[in-house]
Amino acid sequence: MKVRGMKFRDSDDAYEYFRQREVDDAAERARQPAPIPQLCHNCGHAYAGAICPLCKEERPAYTALKRSAA
């Protein structure tokens, strides 16, 4: 069996290939985008996380958002 330039031994192989593509595409759509880096309110360093890597100040809004999403 040949589909769009791809060769499969039989229809079962073709079905498994396209079913796996559907699963992979669904996982790709479900993936959340990375958070946008924002400025630290204490030192002004742009980062995307719960604790600033420079001054170690916690970002309460980010931690609350992470807790609510979990």
Domain count along the chain: 2
Q: What does the pLDDT read at residue 3? A: 54
Q: Based on the fold, state whether residues 64 and 45 are members of the same structural domain.
A: yes
Helix (H) / strand (E) element for 3: namely strand 2-3
Q: How far apart are CA 47 and CA 58, in angstroms?
A: 11
Which residue range is the domain that position 43 belongs to? 34-70
Q: Based on the fold, state whether residues 21 and 38 are members of the same structural domain.
A: no
Q: Based on the fold, state whether residues 26 and 40 are members of the same structural domain.
A: no
Helix (H) / strand (E) element for 2: namely strand 2-3
Q: Based on the fold, state whether residues 39 and 24 are members of the same structural domain.
A: no
Question: Comparing 2-6, 13-17, 33-37, 50-54, which segment has the lowest mean pLDDT?
Answer: 2-6
pLDDT level of residue 1 (50, 70, 90 thresholds): very low
Express each pLDDT in 10-40 by its tens digit: 888 888 888 888 888 888 877 777 778 889 8
Based on the number of CB atoms within 10 Å of its own CB, is 10 exposed (0-12), middle (13-18) or buried (19 or more)? exposed
| pTM confidence score | 0.44
Is residue 47 helix, strand or coil? Answer: strand
